Structure formats: C-alpha cells, structure tokens
Structure 1
Amino acid sequence: MSVWEKSSTVRVVPPARPRKLSKVPFVELADGRLQGVVSSGSDIGRVYVSSVAAGTYAFACSTNNNRPCGGARGTFCNHIRALIGEAVLQYGAERVARYLKADVDGDAPDAGALTAAMTATRPAQGDTSAAAPVFSRFLRHLAYLELAPVTTPLPEMQWFPTTRAVA
C-alpha cells in the first residue's frame, strides 16, 4: 500500500493552466457530467448552471433559479462553451475528453475541437435536475472563503485535499 493510500488526504492535481474565475467561477467533472456555474454576460446578479453529460453530451443550462437559458435551443449555448473552455484550462483537454467520452481528432485537442466533436453528434437537451445540487455545492465552496483564517482544524474540512507531502 502506498503512502497516499494510508493517509486521510489526497494530492491535488494542479490546474493545467491558470484560469480566470470571473466568467466561470466553478467547474467540476462529477456525477457523469462536466458541470459548473457560469456568470451571465448581461446581468451581474445572474449566474447559469450548465452541464454536459458524459457519452451522450446531453446538455442543460438554466439560471440559478431554474429559468431556462435562452441560448440553449438545440445546441450548446455560450455558457456551455465557456464551461468547456474553462474545464480544459482546469483539467486539460485530454482529461476532459476522456471523462466525457469524446472522440477528438488530433494529438493535442483544445476546447474548440472538443466542443466541435460533441456538437457533431447533435446532442439533445438534457435534464436540469442537477442544477440545484451543483449550485448548492458552489455556494458551499464560497462559504469557506468567508471564514476567518485560523490554525485550528475545521471538522467539515477533514476530507479536503492537501498539497503538502504526507510522511
């Protein structure tokens, strides 16, 4: 058994490239989807919860209060395209393509090639039921930013990955 298997922490994989959090503050590969929160381009107080399902590329995009995105009619909207672009920055194109089970041509795929490969299959609009849990997880992550800095352990953060080497 390796050292990391014996510890209660896991290594964090650093982002493939730095990314700006203002447009897409939250992106994750979870629950069989690429999903995240995307800021509205027109209203500073509005965000969209967007997702693309692995394998089928079924997509969903709605506001944080479950109003459908006007641009997600039959194809990926700009919010989903931004989500894919930020996921590629965060995780790398190969990892995102592998997770979504996308067959991308070329040795070094990028966000555009990944998006083109998925839209070529003519994906259908999917279920927006994942929006609430994704947005809730995003808000929970934001709450940790508001905590005062302390050196004592936080019980709810025991699971959180660390970048420190574990002996």
Structure 2
Amino acid sequence: MSDWERSSTARVIPPARPRKLAKVPFVELADGRLQGVVSSGSDIERVYVSSVGAGTFAYACSTNNNRPCGGARGGFCNHIRTLINEAVLQYGAERVARYLRVETEGEPSAQTLTTSMTGARPSRGDTAAAAPVFSRFLRHLAYLELAPTTGPLPEMQWFPPTRAVA
C-alpha cells in the first residue's frame, strides 16, 4: 500500500494544462455527467450551469436561477461547447472521452469530442442537476475565502466524533 493510500487526504490530480478560471470557474466529471458553471458572455453577473450526460449526451444549460439558455435549442450551446473545452484542459481529452463514453476517430480532442456527441443527435436533458452543481460551486468559492490554516475545518470532517456512553 502506498503512502497516499494510507493517508487521510485524497490524491489531487494536476490539470492536464493550465486553464483560465474566469470563463469556466467550475468543471467536474460527476454524477454520470460532465457538468460545471460557465460565465455569461454578455452579463458579468450571470452564470450558466451546463451539463452533458455520459453515454446519452443529453444536455442541459440554464442560468443559476433555472432560466433556460436561449442558445441550447436543438443542440449544444456555446456554454456547453466552452465547458467541453475546459474539461479537456482540466482532465485531458482521453479521460473526458472515456468518462462520457464518446468514440472518436483517432486522437480525441475537444473538437472531435464535440463533433462526435453532436453527430449522435443528443436530446435536451433534465435541468434538475443545476441546483446541486451550483451549490457545490458556491461551497468551493467559500473555501477560497478562508484564511490558510493547518487546523481542522468542522465541515470537512467526514465522521462524527465518538462519544463515551455514561
């Protein structure tokens, strides 16, 4: 067993390439989807929660207050395309292709992944995942505001302390 397997912390995989967080501050491969938060191109105070389902490529895009994206009619909008590009920068094209179960000809890239998924004629997916994704994004932002410390964070403790029974 290696040292990281015995430790109480998870191994962090460095990004495949550095990415700019201003356009897509949050991207994750989770819950059977590529999902994340994408900044609006027209309004600095608006963000979109976008996702693409693994295998089905069902897509969803809406604002953080559940208003549908006007560009996601009948296909991927620019927010979803940007999310795919940033996911490839964060995780690498091969890992994103494997997770989403996308088959491409040759070496995968953000462009070939998007082309393969749109060629499969994806359908509009459920926007129910938007709220938990946006909530996780806000929680990540809150951690950035904390002062550096080596002490424990109560909300990061996974197991409740055991109490002695009297």
User: TM-score normalized by structure 2?
Assistant: 0.91
SS in 2 for 1:34: strand
- C-alpha offsets along residues 42-67 of structure 1, whole Å, 9 cap, x if unaligned? 00000000000000000000000000
Larger Rg: 2
Higher mean alpha-carbon deviation, 136-145 vs 150-159, is at 150-159
Higher mean alpha-carbon deviation, 59-68 vs 98-107, is at 98-107
Query: Could you tell me which residue of structure 2 aligns to residue 52 of structure 1?
Result: 52
SS in 1 for 2:14: coil
Residue 20 (structure 1) aligned with residue 24 (structure 2): no
SS in 2 for 1:97: helix
Q: Distance in 2 between matches of 1:122 and 1:40?
A: 25
Q: Distance in 2 between matches of 1:18 and 1:57?
A: 26
Between the two proteins, what is the percent identity of the paired residues?
Answer: 81
Query: By how many angstroms is 1:158 displaced?
Result: 4.8
- C-alpha offsets along residues 32-86 of structure 1, whole Å, 9 cap, x if unaligned? 0000000000000000000000000000000000000000001000000000000
Q: RMSD of the alignment, in Å?
A: 1.2
Query: Could you tell me which residue of structure 1 aligns to residue 122 of structure 2?
Result: 123
Number of aligned pairs? 158
Residue 33 (structure 1) aligned with residue 33 (structure 2): yes
Corresponding letter in the other structure for 1:141: H
Q: Distance in 1 between matches of 2:139 and 2:151?
A: 20
Corresponding letter in the other structure for 2:129: A
Query: Could you tell me which residue of structure 1 aligns to residue 106 of structure 2?
Result: 106
Query: By how many angstroms is 1:3 displaced?
Result: 3.2
Corresponding letter in the other structure for 1:128: T
User: TM-score normalized by structure 1?
Assistant: 0.91
Corresponding letter in the other structure for 2:20: K
Query: Could you tell me which residue of structure 1 aligns to residue 149 of structure 2?
Result: 150
What stretches of structure 1 of length at least 5 have no aligned partner? 160-167
SS in 2 for 1:129: helix
Corresponding letter in the other structure for 2:96: V
Corresponding letter in the other structure for 1:151: T
Q: Distance in 2 between matches of 1:158 and 1:95?
A: 30
Residue 67 (structure 1) aligned with residue 67 (structure 2): yes
Query: By how many angstroms is 1:11 displaced?
Result: 1.2
Highest relative contact order (Cα 8 Å, sep 6+), 1 or 2?
A: 1
Corresponding letter in the other structure for 2:141: L
Corresponding letter in the other structure for 1:136: S
SS in 1 for 2:49: strand
| Aligned residue runs from structure 1 range 80-95, under 5 A | 80-95=80-95
Query: By how many angstroms is 1:7 displaced?
Result: 2.0
